Structure 1
Amino acid sequence: MNAPRAASSPLASLSQEIAVRGALALIGLMLAWRLLLAAFVPLVPDEAYYALWAQGLSAGYVDHPPMIALFIRAGQEMLGDTPLGIRLFSVLAALPASWFVWRAAEELLEDKRAGALAAVLFNATIFGFLGLTLATPDAPLALFCAAMVWGAARLVRAPRPWLWLAMGLATGLAAQSKYSGIMLAGGFALAVLVLAPLRRQLLTPWPWLAGALALLVFLPNIAWNATHDWATLTKQGGRVTAHASFRPGFLPEFVGSQIALATPLIFLFAVLGLLPGRTAAMFRSGAGRALVFFLLFVPLAYFVVHALRARVEGNWVGFLYPLVAIAAAAGMLAPVGSGWLGRNLPGLARATLPLAFGLILALGLHALFVPTTLAGNKDAIVRMTRGWPQFAAEIDARRREIGATAILTNDYQMTAMLKRELPGVTVRQFDERQRYAFMDESEPLALPGPLLLVLSTYRSFNEIASVYGRADLGEVSRRFRDVTMPPVRLFRLDPVVSPPPRPGSSAP
């Protein structure tokens, strides 16, 4: 990097040595903060659901491929079926993911401080922090997509046969984490077709062997789907919105969610880092800068089209955050020039990490202690993590009061939390039975009565109406301090036929 560029950079006073030492210290502190939160913040319902997967390992599940189940099971083997055990490998994945982002930024950007800065920025985003703390498919997906970004960056600069194979392995593992990884692979495939350094490699066997290796790693999940009515592919494919009505209001919501999950200033510098002009010289080559665009283009094109018709959940885009961090590093390290940007960007660059870390600290403290409940049940942390033990105890008391042999539900999150809080009680979700194909459990409609039905207010129970007589037992709500969650309705179910219909038979 030449002297004029360093002199005009918003972070010109930051030496490479200080950047590396500071980055290692900050990543270490964030790892410790993740471990603390992972140990003491109660599980969210999705984590409890994925923890069920870990007790019945399979090549596939209805919702996602199996990688998160393997992560959870490995942690449980080390630390038991505890919140920290369940989350352990999601947290530890932050270290190799940070290494991949660091090295990818060094490959793509001229500034020698870029790798350290990009790794810290990745961890400092709300998604990068939480996504690699909670035990959800986003954690392994982020790890293996970071590996894909590193592999792609290396291949642009100096293609090697082993790098192609590493790229194929990372792609297969990303697809085994969440199908979103296939979109990043699509962006890389487009880059291979367009960028000359990569396109020339198509004349060698290595790109083709990489594709074959990715397919081989992904093959067990394809085979599982083939024997389970293509359940996961059908479910995830159902998110495609080609036949949904045009509702462009979801697009600004989508953009707003990414500003929040990236944190506002990191998002700003990521956008600046992708703009032509001032940041172009930050990239080692035009092919490297184009690679970042192509890797982002395919997934973001899909999400924009989706957002014109339906909601895009904020975490769906999280696998692109290694690229966001690299772009933000380019934006922060680029020369600012004169004018409005020259006057304001240095101050914004200096404020970026303090703001991001302040948000992460505040979010973590709120998750640990919930110092305020002013947001009521709109507070996602309160809504997902609090009040479950008392709620489950109240449900079980009602079950024992009517002498019910089991609890039926119609919500996978409710099922997972009640199974976790009431380990000695039979809990079954009576609908969506494909979700539990990995478990060796009896069909819920074959259970002897009486049963206690815990019915979410937004779901019907026509499926069991002809099998059981029912008595309305009123509503029960989960509570935390002064916050009351939406109620569930309780019913006593008694068989109206004897014996109950066999699994798979049609009710009269």
Structure 2
Amino acid sequence: MSPSAAVPSPAASLSREVATRGALALIGLMLLWRLVLAAFVPLVPDEAYYALWAQGLSAGYVDHPPMIAFFIRAGQELVGDTPLGIRLFCVLAALPASWFVWRAADDLLEDPRAGALAAVLFNATIFGFLGLTLATPDAPLALFCAAMVWGAARLVRAPRPSIWLAMGLATGLAAQSKYSGVMLAGAFALAVLALAPLRRQLLTPWPWLAGLVALLVFLPNIVWNATHDWATLTKQGGRVTAQAPFRPGFLPEFIGSQIALATPLVFLFAVIGLLPGRAAAMFRPGGGRGLVLLLLFVPLAYFAVHALRARVEGNWVGFLYPLVALAAAAGMLAPAGSGWWGRHQPGLARTTLPLAFGLVFALGIHALFVPTTLAGNKDAVVRMTRGWPEFAAEIDARRRQIGASAILTNDYQMTAMLKRELPGVTVQQFDERQRYVFMNEPEPLSLPGPLLLVLSTFRSFGEISAAYGRQDMGEVSRRFRDVTMPPVRLFRLDPLAAPAPATAAPAP
């Protein structure tokens, strides 16, 4: 290597310094914006549900592994059981996640500005912003998957035993956040087999020790599942769609959701960054581009197949956004070529961050103030966050009117929100009781009557049909300004008299 190649030029050093300062300022501003939203936007129902988990810490829960419960509990210990307390550690996770993305891009891309740009792009995507603001399992998952991407990049660029062990730790923590982390681990395992710089390291003990570390970190959740009828594995495995009918219309919906969550120009430059050509030359020699392609496309292949038969929720792919940001940085920094794209690439690159940050800012303003309700109850912000205190008060007034000892529901989100808004009232979901094994609640059928039943969806009454008489009390709807949400139906439940005990027939 020539001295000129080994030592950055003064111009390159200045460019890197300017990029670093700008990136740190933008990431800091985004952190402050997250904190404002975390403090003042009401909780969404899933966050209220995960906050219940934090009341009963466990090695596992029916829906997901436990990491989000520990994040929430840590914030509550510092700030209290407030929206900010519940979301605090998810927001703060954006800082180390940004550092991991930054370092991974520095390792894999040639341009000295690449790390700073990739970190900013990660924060500027809708998923990167919301996923590390809301208190859901996606926040710790994004953090630890970003750590995995950094570890993989380091192992391609400059492998060391400590990096392998860090990779094992990050993998175990990602799996403890959400089982999607196992998909990224599987993609990395294929990369180890496919890429010579990684494959050679299989001759050392460190990859195998990394796998052992990951297994040990994940082991508590495996043990919990083993003692709870494999509840989480069964629930998440139920999303497999091999027997579902062929419905390819979900595939364009999946692609559209990712364009929206990445923001359109970040998505465009990520695609450009993965194509062969000028963007490919942005990757350092030694397998870095192959690593990114494998880490991205192995999970994406599964989601594409899934989308041919069933809906893929947009956030399911969020753990790949550190790689999306890295690919987008490669696409934006690639030298412009000739033709239409060459003429427009510089302008589009300059527009990418202002557009992305503008969308993030507008989304935050809408979440804070809801300046318009034109979308009605199709507006996700209105549907999930508004009108809950008044709605809960109306439900409680109906409960007190009939002297009910408790409220029963058939929906986990409704249960969580009513529990939160009515802290002195017994609220229980009468079905799917496995969700609440950590709460040490009495069985709903043992509660003294009368009870108030709130049906969010008109499914079967289950065991309640045999145990209670029902009196229809009409419908109640949650409202916000001129928007009315779909109604719930209320029933008064009165215990039926126990049947007389059977008596033996008299002897002849």
**Normalized against structure 2, the TM-score is what?**
0.95
Q: What CA distance in whole angstroms lies between the structure 1 residues aligned with 2:311 and 2:98?
A: 29
Q: How far, CA to CA, are the matches of 2:244 and 2:318 in structure 1?
A: 24
1:199 counterpart residue number: 199
Q: Residue 395 of structure 2 corresponds to which residue in structure 1?
A: 395
Give the structure 2 partner of residue 414 of structure 1. 414
Question: 1:273-326 CA deviation, whole Å, 9 max, x = no partner?
Answer: 000011111001250000001111221011000000000000000000000000
What SS class does the counterpart of residue 491 from structure 2 fall into? strand
The 1:499–1:380 alpha-carbon spacing in structure 2 relative to 1, beyond 3 Å, is farther
**CA contact under 8 A between 1:457 and 1:487: conserved in structure 2?**
no
- The corresponding residue for 1:228 is 228
Describe how 1:258-337 pairs up with structure 2 within 5 A.
258-337=258-337
Structure 1 pair 392–246 and aligned structure 2 pair: CA distance change class (3 A): same
Superposed CA deviations along residues 458-483 of structure 1, whole A, max 9, x for unmatched, are 42213310110000000000000000
Deviation at 1:15, TM superposition (A): 1.9
**2: CA distance between counterparts of 1:348 and 1:482?**
39
Please tell me the residue identity of whatever aligns with 1:216: L
* 1: CA distance, partners of 2:500 / 2:215: 45
Aligned residue number for residue 452 of structure 2: 452
The one-letter code matched in structure 1 to 2:449 is G
Q: Percent identity?
A: 87
Where in structure 2 are the equivalents of 1:140-159 lying within 5 Å?
Answer: 140-159=140-159
Give the conservation status (yes or no) of the 8 Å contact 2:15–2:112.
Answer: no
Distance 2:286 2:334 in 1: 16
The unaligned stretches of length 5 or more in structure 1 are 3-11, 502-508
Instruction: For residue 499 of structure 1, report the CA deviation from its aligned partner.
Output: 9.2
Q: d(CA) in 1 for partners of 2:373 and 2:463? A: 38
2: CA distance, partners of 1:123 / 1:458: 41
Cα deviation, residue 17, structure 1: 1.6
The aligned length equals 492
- How many angstroms apart in 2 are the aligned matches of 1:406 and 1:329? 55
- For 2:164, the aligned partner's letter is W
Partner of 1:5: none
Residue 336 of structure 1 and its aligned partner are, at CA, apart by 1.1
State how far apart, in whole Å, the 1-side matches of 2:500 and 2:14 are.
73
Moved over 6 A (4+): none
Q: Secondary structure at the match of 2:463?
A: helix
User: How far, CA to CA, are the matches of 2:244 and 2:500 in structure 1?
Assistant: 40
Q: Distance in 2 between matches of 1:200 and 1:164?
A: 13
Relative contact order (C-alpha < 8 Å, sep 6+): which is higher? 1
- Runs of 5+ in structure 2 lacking a partner? 3-11, 502-508
Matched, 1:105 2:105: yes
Counterpart of 2:27, as a letter, is I
2:506 — aligned with what? none
Which shows bigger deviation, 369-378 or 286-295?
286-295
Q: Distance in 2 between matches of 1:226 and 1:173?
A: 19
Q: How far apart are the structure 1 equivalents of 2:28 and 2:315? A: 24
Matches within 5 A, 1:64-213: 64-213=64-213
Aligned twin of 2:362: 362
Partner of 2:50: 50
1:79, distance to aligned residue in structure 2 (A): 0.3
Alpha-carbon separation, structure 1, partners of 2:102 and 2:499: 63
Q: Following TM superposition, by how much is the alpha carbon of 1:445 offset from its aligned partner in structure 2, in angstroms?
A: 1.0
Deviation at 1:457, TM superposition (A): 3.0
Q: Secondary structure at the match of 2:428?
A: strand
Give the 3-state SS of the residue equivalent to 1:408 in structure 2. Answer: strand
The verdict on how the C-alpha distance between 1:16 and 1:397 changes in structure 2, with shifts beyond 3 A counting, is same
Measure how far apart 1:500 and its partner are: 13
Cα deviations by residue, 1:215-241 (Å, 9 ceiling, x for unpaired): 000000000000000000000000000
- Cα distance in 2 for partners of 1:282, 1:226 equals 47
Q: Any conservation in 2 of the 1:445–1:500 contact (CA below 8 Å)?
A: no
Q: Give distance in 2, aligned partners of 1:500 and 1:124.
A: 67
Query: Is 452-461 or 328-337 further displaced after alignment?
Result: 452-461
The amino acid across from 1:190 in the alignment is: L
> What letter corresponds to residue 76 of structure 1 in structure 2?
Q
Q: What does residue 383 of structure 1 align with? A: 383
1:212, distance to aligned residue in structure 2 (A) = 0.5
Helix, strand or coil at the partner of 1:466: helix
User: Pairwise CA RMSD of aligned residues?
Assistant: 1.6
Q: Is the 8 A contact 1:471 1:493 kept in 2?
A: yes
**Cα distance change of structure 1 residues 477 and 155 upon mapping to structure 2, 3 Å threshold:** same
CA-to-aligned-CA distance 1:53-93 (integer Å, 9 cap, x gap)? 00000000000000000000000000000000000000000
Determine the C-alpha separation between the residues in 1 that align with 2:219 and 2:255.
Answer: 35
SS of 2:439's partner is coil
Distance 1:223 1:317 in 2: 27
CA contact (8 A) 2:408 2:430 kept: yes
Q: Distance in 2 between matches of 1:210 and 1:13?
A: 36
Q: Determine if contact 1:467/1:500 at 8 Å carries over to the other structure.
A: no
Matched, 1:433 2:433: yes
Distance 1:382 1:247 in 2: 30
Q: Sort the Cα spacing of 1:111 and 1:455 in 2 relative to 1 into closer, same or farther, 3 A.
A: same
AA paired with 2:313?
E
* Amino acid paired to 1:394: E
3-state SS in 2 of match to 1:462: coil
Q: Does the 8 Å contact 2:419/2:427 carry over to 1?
A: yes
Structure 1 stretch displaced more, 444-453 or 13-22: 13-22
Q: Which amino acid aligns with 1:221?
A: N
Q: Distance in 2 between matches of 1:134 and 1:293?
A: 29
- Tell me the SS of whatever aligns to 1:437: helix
Q: Write the distance in 2 (CA, Å) between the matches of 1:469 and 1:333.
A: 69
The offset of 1:14, in angstroms, is 9.0
Q: State the secondary structure of the residue aligned to 2:151.
A: helix
Q: Secondary structure at the match of 2:466?
A: coil
Any idea what SS the aligned residue of 2:460 has? coil
Q: Deviations over 1:169-228 (max 9, x none)?
A: 000000000000000001100000010111011111110000010000000000000000
Q: What TM-score do you get using the length of structure 1 for normalisation? A: 0.95
Q: Secondary structure at the match of 2:493?
A: strand
* Contact residue 410 and residue 457 of structure 2 kept, 8 A: no
Amino acid at match of 1:242: A
